Structure 1
């Protein structure tokens, strides 16, 4: 039988702010949940370190949480469209957690599991954005240390869907999380290999050292896997796989997928050199090579030049699989090369034919510029045309556009305020129910955030109606068949519960439901219906305040069983303080009635009054709550007392003193 263990974090509130809604994924070090930031009313991702991971690290080194916090602060300073943003951090029940941007999409691992491998267009599009994120980290002095498909998120394309991954948005996650755990392990064991062995760089295996070139190597292995559908090495044990990275060169992807362009083989080879010094210095350097290669791959006249520039190798034969060129202007601003690099990456194809036209143009040029009066107007006309063309091109390609703001997950009021600040108009589509997005928050926007939109244009928003819920119908007092019909018509699932006695409703009639009538529930919720068994044969009497012996007698006469439980109380000993079931409850004979019985007030100590004047002794005892009986001569001296001095007696016990 399968046993499902409930996740105790689901539904809980972290730090008085983040309401856990569902579990997204569980990894080796942490579990990722979706949560609602109840302060800002947006959906976020919360990554919580596993209890075993945190407890082991904290047992070895008390500074684990401090390191984790420092790493979170470092990553939070990384601001880049391809880096999963970190919003907050803290501890919950002793477990460190991160609050991050929630990315709607899948991991690259899930994409590869479904597609096996990607075509070169898609692989390079994803690879460019990966490198852009890692390059931003390298510029800030941060090394990822664990680049792999599981840490690459492929979000839905701005055009919708994921059929063509070229337009998808890629975000890299988990910067620094491995480093915090690695630091704790290093102090215990020296060096420890933290990267996944399928993507580990040779220097991590041999020296335990990681720098920006380590991330370049792991990224190269990810590109190899995207192109071929597999990692370069496998083996029975992780250590065997790790040492293959040290002893062997990564094979060319085209040996596994015939027809791949040789430039892709060279990109993989450049990134995965076993000697770190032979690789690009960091992800930014590799990104520049990849962008130049993508610009030129679609041009047959320049593909050989790209190969020579990247690999410093002789020209090779034309590939049978062509990769479409991506022009710099089609890239987002953060992914473009500097203008100088773009110009250096392009080669002009030599014009074919047109010799006569060239001669005629040359003659015209000489005729115009040969005359002194003709040069100035011509230059002015050319400059004016260039300026007009430049201004026109700028306006129609960039000047008349702006970027759509991020409105998803905002409340309606906040979305309207942000759109107004951007000078944009909002219209609303039909709202939809959603289990995660709160009511009246933005569920969808068109165009999507960061998409190009005409200044003063219109954005269409779809608001959330919240989870689809409605109250449980009132079926109390109805026969079961009628109640079942009402609940089924309300799209609820009916379950019969244990019947119980009821003095007011006949047998077979609904007494109660669970959840209760009027409770807001989702369609398909199970509603337990409790039916009446009719009037109970025995009604539990009221025993509170009675003596134990009296209560025993009453219960015995009714055929009920007393279950006795003593507790401290100021009430007299053996007085009944409480009972369960309560009086008036209908039960069957033989039912246990639990009684709470007073142990009596705590004992007090009788003071010594022997040898005191009789009246003084009487005043002393009465001041402590003891009634006093005086024998013989009340004006004499106390010669004996009962109970004796230091006796422990119940409060209010009478003390007899003999005076003579």
Structure 2
């Protein structure tokens, strides 16, 4: 029992981060599905808080194709805390069960399943909720009524909740690698267009029976999402309509801007395509985890439509041109229905492919992905440094020996100057050899110096070593998670490289762990993102943590999380908390205040005051506020119009001692009537009704009593 209410029964599924059980809500006597998160998350307060927020967000999505969230909580017991989520129980199986049992699905069935999936995503995207982990395991197909079928999408928001837990960090890729969008792999940002990408992969897998990318490990699959384009499914299953190929390719573009904007846009394109191709509506078989071939009966009319439909033989149904040189297809289309007793066609997985199989949400380091990218590019080239190759000229040719001449002779027949000539030629030969040797040494080796390996040395020591090798040190500081501040990480060019003597060599010195930059409140999001990148960190935006602020304008930065100055790991994600503008506030009580005072008070609260006219109120002086619309205490967003109704009451003046003529004139000026009651002839006023100070409506009659 969880919290003495939910009875946990049979295990339905187990994943890397949670397990799902069949259960019973004993209070309402209702069958439910209970997802219990792995116990390592229960001890993380940040995860529990985010889990509760995401559960509340998911519960707001009321849609027939979204698995309803009934409750969430934490069961605290002697054996430890259990974080759980109570959801609608779908009696059936998953899309993974269906694809595993049948292989590739025919076009009518694939579109019939994808339409409710996109409808669920569209409903979530409309309220600002992103799924982040669209995959066959999260698409449930169950029984609805006696012969009906329902398709529902589950696990909204749980990946974002897991990503906040202390067991992960910002340089972790979290999700199911076979369906991750490129931007989720590279930056971790998840948007509605990322869900569109995953849904496109889902459609590809239903049409072919396999995911577009396979690899020896999850990292290699993630690498292909970032660097490869998803091929059209007809390369694997020939005969699919070209327009369907184009839809899959467009939904899985690596550039998010080139995809449909959200689930609603993708659904609109799918509906249009279905109409163009004349794809019939078919029943959806319900897979059973224990009996994969059990299906919901399909009506004869639906079966006949599925068997009769074939893809168009020409390009008349193409929704747009697609430049694919390899997209040539056979002229004869593959039938949409084969010799089966229902509307589902079985296409065997092509040879050489392996089905992806159940794949749970995974966590991988982005640094591992970077290393994989380096392996793909190959090792750096070896040999003589490039600068050496450019600057070293070919060796000069050896000088030819001097020409032999007849030696002059003296009159007595002896050679002239014999010893002196030999010495002179010896010196000349020595100089020539020396010049050649020095020139060769200079161009080949003398003007070059080898960069010493100074990694691990202190900055000052490394600079001295470079100077000793006739090199000019240039210091560049770079953050590093492991190497202490002031210690050399390496050099650019690397140690062992030959460079010209006197050339600058960059010393890369550790500045220690990077710190979250100090971004002033009110800065733009672009300024904050640049400051974070300059600090060797990754900026992140999450609508779930944005806040209202009376001091920071809407769309501007409130603060960063973690706080400015906090030491963090290189490339760690730093969240930018953005202002949603002033928080909703209640309408104040302005009764009795002047118009100007009321307008100023409303403007100070961020409202837009509007005058709504006048009405009589005996308790409020003329020109003062009688009431507001909306009424006092109603909570409104900033910028909302608030109407102010003013009093038109007139205060009765004191007419004592005035003549009847003066009293009449004074009341007429105020818009009031007079009734003179003379006692013994007209004279001075000695009494009046209503008495002075009372408030009356315009046009009211004041009775005065006069005496001679």
TM-score by length of 2: 0.40
Higher relative contact order (CA 8 A, sep 6+): 2
- Report which of the two has the higher share of helix: 1
TM-score by length of 1: 0.43
